[in-house]
């Protein structure tokens, strides 16, 4: 049976009351491993280098034509960095969703769009004027300036009759009928009548969608509807974001705040601005610290209590700037940027403690998804595209009462202070190839003298 050594950091305080599971404990270090590297001649800027992993396959751009991104060459790699298949001279390739990725055949002006599978086969012919990625089994397609939806078999399930659409989310998609927005279900049936002047790009999240009334001249007023079309939070805000982790950012004449699903102010907003596409993820949100010129403002991260977790300006400017970088945390990591005196941006990756995991020195950094506990990033610098795998080195113990109690007993038995790290030998008991918390608890049971399968391996 396979052995591994795990360092468990015993820093858990005594739990006096029942508490929900909290954010993972800090202190993990990371190993960054290069799995793929290729020299690429970029005609303009070094960006848009890779796509997300799906079913163990991800696209990497490895070549451009010399005529302004008309076509490009791609290789598709597995999680070991091995090339699975290649595509040459395609116009553009998207990330895989529902097993299919957008692909354009031809140039920007006259090319047509279709979808490839994870083997590189064009399974939905390139016959559309435009497409978007699949979401909940349906994808938007553009035919003669009208939009509809196809399924993963390429069948037109919702006719192309709309002037605008947004992706399906929680079973509903926003559609533009005339000059008003409403929502349809996956059968094309109207669920919420078209009576709104605008809707949030993200659609429904956590059962609510931001909708508005008004226009550019008079201004918009935003509120939230549920999936039945009931206005559960009145349209009284000048601006509203989607809900994420139970909170949504809103602003009005009396200031800004994060509200809950009942419309109650949970966190008065004392900062200048919030990143458009972030919201709270993994308990953190990116915000602008002071009112200032947009390009000179400093950004940082706050938690759901409004406390500054990652200070403003630590990484220079534009940390989490919407449209510049992906600013949300995924798997405990986030992309950040800094700007030098010449307004040149550099990008890297930090953890939730603000510690640098990938140096902030790349021309572009793209998140490529997590496969298991490994995060993948595409990096570009000096005409070199690099794909790296980022792995946490230490076992992350969650603040769960059962684990807390076991660790408290272990501290008492071995006479350690709460900050003393202990190295114990553990095994992959369930045979899943991963030494995890369940396995570590078996070790704790053995140490404190409880019945455990370890008795068979280490007789007392």
Neighbours of 397 (CB within 10 A): 22
**pLDDT computed for residue 254 by the predictor:** 75
What φ, ψ does residue 96 adopt, rounded to 5°? -75, 135
**pLDDT computed for residue 344 by the predictor:** 72
**pLDDT computed for residue 81 by the predictor:** 96
Q: What angle do CA 417, 423, 428 make, to 5 degrees?
A: 135
CA 400 remoteness from chain centre: 25
Question: What whole-number distance in Å separates Cα of residue 331 and Cα of residue 55?
Answer: 18
Reported pTM: 0.74
Question: What whole-number distance in Å separates Cα of residue 246 and Cα of residue 255?
Answer: 20
Question: What whole-number distance in Å separates Cα of residue 351 and Cα of residue 237?
Answer: 33
Question: What whole-number distance in Å separates Cα of residue 452 and Cα of residue 447?
Answer: 10
**pLDDT computed for residue 427 by the predictor:** 45
Q: DSSP secondary-structure letter at 57?
A: B
Are β-strands 146-151 and 156-162 bridged in parallel, bridged antiparallel, or unpaired? antiparallel
DSSP string, 339-387: E-TT--EEEEEEETTS-EEEEEEESEEEEEEEETTEEEEEEEETTEEEE
* pLDDT tens across the length of the chain (460 residues): 333 333 333 322 222 222 222 223 334 588 999 999 998 876 555 567 899 999 899 999 888 765 555 677 899 999 999 999 998 878 788 899 999 999 988 877 788 999 999 999 999 999 999 999 999 999 999 999 999 999 999 999 999 999 999 999 999 999 999 999 999 999 999 999 999 999 998 899 999 999 999 988 888 999 999 999 999 999 999 999 999 999 998 988 877 889 999 999 998 877 666 665 568 888 888 877 655 555 556 678 888 888 888 887 666 444 333 333 446 788 889 888 877 656 677 889 998 888 899 998 998 899 999 888 899 999 998 889 999 999 987 544 444 455 555 556 555 555 544 444 444 444 444 445 554 555 555 555 555 555 444 333 333 3
Question: What whole-number distance in Å separates Cα of residue 392 and Cα of residue 414?
Answer: 27
Residue 433's Cβ-count burial label (10 Å; 0-12, 13-18, 19+) is exposed
Q: What angle do CA 61, 65, 67 make, to 5 degrees?
A: 130
Helix axes 437-447, 401-414, angle to 10 degrees: 40
* Closest alpha carbon to 398 in 441, 349, 354, 453: 441
The residues, ordered by sequence, that sit 6+ positions from 208 with a Cβ below 8 Å of its Cβ are 224, 225, 226, 232, 233, 243, 248, 261
Question: What whole-number distance in Å separates Cα of residue 343 and Cα of residue 36?
Answer: 30
CB 435 within 8 A of CB 6: yes
Question: What whole-number distance in Å separates Cα of residue 380 and Cα of residue 335?
Answer: 14
Tokens of 228: 């039945």
CB 4 within 8 A of CB 426: yes
**pLDDT computed for residue 72 by the predictor:** 78
Question: What whole-number distance in Å separates Cα of residue 29 and Cα of residue 412?
Answer: 27
């Amino acid at each position: 049976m396979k052995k591994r050594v795990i360092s468990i950091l015993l820093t858990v305080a005594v739990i006096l009351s029942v508490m929900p599971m909290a954010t993972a404990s800090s202190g993990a270090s990371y190993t960054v491993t290069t799995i793929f590297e290729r020299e690429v001649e970029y005609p303009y800027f070094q960006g848009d280098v890779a796509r997300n992993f799906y079913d163990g396959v991800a696209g990497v751009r490895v070549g451009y034509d010399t005529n302004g991104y008309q076509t490009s060459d791609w290789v598709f790699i597995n999680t070991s960095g091995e090339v699975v298949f290649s595509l040459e001279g395609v116009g553009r390739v998207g990330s895989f969703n529902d097993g299919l990725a957008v692909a354009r055949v031809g140039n920007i002006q006259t090319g047509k769009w279709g979808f490839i599978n994870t083997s590189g086969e064009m399974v939905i012919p390139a016959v559309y004027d435009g497409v978007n990625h699949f979401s909940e089994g349906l994808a938007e397609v553009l035919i003669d300036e009208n939009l509809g939806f196809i399924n993963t078999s390429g069948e037109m399930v919702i006719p192309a009759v709309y002037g605008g659409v947004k992706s399906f989310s929680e079973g509903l998609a926003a559609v533009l009928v005339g000059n008003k927005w409403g929502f349809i279900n996956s059968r094309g049936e109207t669920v919420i009548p078209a009576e709104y002047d605008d809707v949030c790009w993200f659609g429904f999240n956590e059962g609510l969608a931001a909708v508005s009334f008004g226009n550019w001249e008079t201004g918009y007023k935003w509120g939230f509807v549920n999936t039945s079309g009931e206005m559960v939070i009145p349209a009284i805000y000048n601006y509203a974001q989607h809900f994420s982790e139970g909170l949504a950012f809103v602003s009005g004449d009396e200031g800004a705040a994060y509200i809950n699903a009942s419309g109650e102010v949970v966190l008065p907003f004392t900062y200048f601005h919030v990143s458009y596409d972030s919201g709270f993820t993994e308990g953190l949100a990116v915000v602008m610290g002071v009112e200032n010129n947009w390009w000179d403002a400093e950004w940082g991260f706050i938690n759901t209590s409004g406390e500054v977790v990652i200070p403003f300006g630590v990484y220079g400017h534009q940390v989490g700037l919407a449209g510049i970088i992906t600013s949300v945390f995924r798997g405990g990591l986030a992309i950040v940027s800094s700007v030098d005196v010449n307004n040149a941006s550099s990008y890297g990756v930090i953890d939730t403690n603000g510690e640098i995991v990938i140096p902030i020195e790349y021309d572009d950094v793209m998140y490529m998804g997590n496969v298991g506990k490994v995060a993948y990033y595409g990096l570009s610098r000096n005409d070199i595209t690099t794909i790296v795998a980022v792995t946490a080195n230490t076992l992350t113990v969650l603040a769960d009462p059962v684990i807390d109690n076991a660790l408290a007993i272990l501290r008492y038995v071995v006479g350690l202070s709460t900050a003393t790290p202990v190295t114990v030998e553990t095994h992959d008991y369930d045979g899943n190839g991963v030494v995890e918390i369940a396995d570590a608890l078996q070790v704790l049971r053995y140490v404190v003298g409880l019945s455990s399968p370890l008795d068979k391996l280490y007789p007392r």
